[in-house]
Chain A
Amino acid sequence: DIQMTQSPSTLSASVGDTVTITCRAGRSISTWLAWYQQKPGKAPKLLIYKASDLQTGVPSRFSGSGSGTEFTLTITSLQPDDFATYYCQQYHTYSRTFGQGTKVEIK
């Protein structure tokens, strides 16, 4: 399985900040990467697919970039609704794997 490693594990930020989360793959996955947002007690929600394509209905303050083994999720002008845990997921192989998550908390 392809290991996915996210950093940081926790990130403290304020409303209006720009935050960046990094996801590294154990081997090249081209751009077969998705990002999800999860709030407590809720299912994950798709934000970005193919590393940088925004899912319909997701605010444009979310953006993704990267290819190969290194990827980033950036949230510009953080909003109160954005405090949540974010996961990356590779789908280069059928056995999809997820990062361990990055919790974005209020500073």
Chain B
Amino acid sequence: EVQLVESGGGLVQPGGSLRLSCAASGFTFSRHAMHWVRQSTGKGLEWVSGIGTGGDTNYADSVKGRFSISRENAKTSLYLQMNNLRDGDTAVYYCVRDTGYWYFDVWGRGTLVTVSS
């Protein structure tokens, strides 16, 4: 069964850091680009960051310079390092598989990140 399982969410103060992880299984992880998409009550679904099969990375303007995406193919894992967190980063963060044609066909269950003092 194809599966993505996120972890690492939690409550963090503004300015703090958090590292999200996503464990993939049931497919050849190294052959797929992967992304993080977040969902907040106020802003709906928002693409956050993506990483290609070759390790090339891209970021939404809202997180550029603060977030860093990485992958470890040997561990079939995706990561999101989030620094200098802001209230507006509060959301459920989903790990998402790219089909190779730029749309998303597998989503994890999400992990909640709450930024609050």
Contact across chains for A89 and B108 when beta carbons are under 8 A apart: no
Residues of A within 8 A of B11 (CB): none
Residues of B within 8 A of A45 (CB): 107
Report how far A43 CA is from B22 CA in the complex, Å.
Answer: 14
Interface string of B95-117 (1 = CB under 8 A from A): 00001011111011110000000
Residue in A43, A49, A87 whose beta carbon sits within 8 Å of that of B103 in the complex:
A49
Q: A43-B108, A44-B45, A101-B44 are in contact. Are A95 and B103 (CB under 8 A)?
A: no
Considering only CB atoms, which chain B residue lies closest to A100 in the complex? B44
Contact across chains for B104 and A34 when beta carbons are under 8 A apart: yes
Residue in A42, A94, A98 whose beta carbon sits within 8 Å of that of B45 in the complex:
A98
Number of B residues, CB within 8 Å of A: 18
Is B94 an interface position by the 8 A CB rule?
yes
CB distance from B49 to the nearest CB of A (A): 10
Contact across chains for A98 and B105 when beta carbons are under 8 A apart: no
Residues of B within 8 A of A42 (CB): 109
Q: Is the interface of A mostly helix, strand, loop or mixed?
A: loop
Within A24-71, the residues touching B (CB, 8 Å) are 32, 34, 42-46, 49-50, 55
Task: Count CB-based A-B contacts (< 8 Å).
Answer: 50
Report how far A46 CA is from B99 CA in the complex, Å.
Answer: 11
Residue in A55, A87, A94, A96 whose beta carbon sits within 8 Å of that of B105 in the complex:
A55
Residues of A within 8 A of B101 (CB): 49-50, 91
CB distance from A48 to the nearest CB of B (A): 9
Residues of A within 8 A of B45 (CB): 44, 87, 89, 98, 101
CB distance from A92 to the nearest CB of B (A): 8
Residues of B within 8 A of A46 (CB): 103-105
Considering only CB atoms, which chain B residue lies closest to A98 in the complex? B45
State the B residues within 8 Å of A (CB).
Answer: 44-47, 50, 58, 60, 94, 99, 101-105, 107-110
16 contacts between A and B (CB under 8 A): A34-B103, A43-B107, A43-B110, A44-B94, A46-B104, A46-B105, A49-B99, A49-B103, A89-B103, A89-B104, A91-B102, A91-B103, A94-B102, A95-B58, A96-B102, A98-B44
